[in-house]
Amino acid sequence: MKRLLFALILLAMAVPVQAEWFQRTESIMGTRIYVELWHDDASAATQLMQAVMDEMHRIDELMSPYKDTAQLAIVNRDAASRPVAVTPELFDLIVRSNHFSDLSGGAFDITFASLGHQFDYRQSVKPDKQHQQQATALINYKALQLDSKAHTVFFPKAGMRIDLGGIAKGYAVDNAIRILQQAGVTNGIVTAGGDSRLLGDHRGRPWMMGIKHPRGESHVVSLPLENVALSTSGDYERYFEADGVRYHHIIDPKKGDSAREVVSATIIADDATTSDALSTTLFILGVSKGLELVNRMQNVSAILIDNKGKIHYSADLAPPTASGL
């Protein structure tokens, strides 16, 4: 008996532990959340995927503009009448957002919501000209009064609002990736809508990440990537058409209207908070200003599709030539 047990132990030691891919998809934050990871323990993998989903729920509960109990919603309700204290985490993300505003000359601006909240893309609702102009005048991140000691937010004017929809999903993806990394996962992907971050490669080969055609389901570009974040902003996610004009969810603060020079903006960066904020930013800045910004930055690449369907690349990405096809 003893000998048999010994033989069995030896056998167990000799058989390599079987690792495999685990995947899970859920709908959180109004979008599709996907996690895939490589693991040798099914129950540990299941727990980790749950931890990723829990983190998405946590960010949603904190930063949703739609949930009455979310701190961000409370800021929007009360900050014009009193400074509203928020968690250091939410405060820091507001500060990081304002950094992207500085970087982009105000193209990225979380106070876009002063106007943005007057649109309902599902119901095809938009403000009339007068309300549109009044709300546009309230867009100005520099007017936000932020107290970095008390972590309070104050709006100097009634009607101001903020929304982290251009950065929060990327931030949540970064947090989720950190959870996986801390648990020792070396290969995986976390996606929240148009924002993804890759951990390692796809076991010996790169992850193939497609950029969707903005007017169809096919992919216009497929990119072999590893260990980076990738975000795409498109005008096809939330929009309606009125009088032949497409009204969608990315707002140019200077025009007080949807940005229309490009129809898809993709950013590759080291982290998803950066790629998310910059994809929204470049969508607004358009081809020449947008690429100029990215070409000045380290470790950031861009692929833009303009409203004629032409693809533009940042200087570091060699455009595919006809001879290379």
Is 264 among the residues that bind Mg ion (CB under 5 A)? no
* Residues in 143-172 at the binding interface with Mg ion, rule: CB under 5 A: 166
Select from 152-160, 204-212, 227-235, 304-312 the region that touches Mg ion (CB under 5 A). 227-235
| Closest approach of ligand ADP to the CB of residue 123, in Å | 15
Q: Closest by alpha carbon to 196, among 232, 144, 153?
A: 232
CB neighbours of 273 closer than 8 A, spacing ≥ 6? 96, 167, 170, 171, 174
> Hey, how many other C-beta atoms are within 10 angstroms of the C-beta on 84?
19
Is 279 among the residues that bind ligand ADP (CB under 6 A)? yes
| Closest approach of Mg ion to the CB of residue 14, in Å | 49
Of 100, 276, 282, 290, the one binding Mg ion (CB under 5 A) is 276
Partners of residue 302 on adjacent β-strands: 267
Cβ proximity of 99 and 277 under 8 Å: no
Cβ proximity of 227 and 256 under 8 Å: no
Cβ proximity of 85 and 151 under 8 Å: yes
Is 235 among the residues that bind Mg ion (CB under 5 A)? no
Q: Closest by alpha carbon to 207, among 216, 199, 215?
A: 199
Of 211, 284, 285, 300, the one binding ligand ADP (CB under 6 A) is 284
Q: Closest by alpha carbon to 112, among 60, 164, 176?
A: 164
* Residues in 179-208 at the binding interface with ligand ADP, rule: CB under 6 A: 193-194
Of 114, 233, 266, 274, the one binding ligand ADP (CB under 6 A) is 233
Q: Which residues bind ligand ADP (CB under 6 A)?
A: 108-110, 112, 116, 163, 165-166, 169, 193-194, 233, 237, 249-251, 253, 276, 279-280, 284
Footprint of Mg ion (CB under 5 A): 166, 233, 276, 279-280
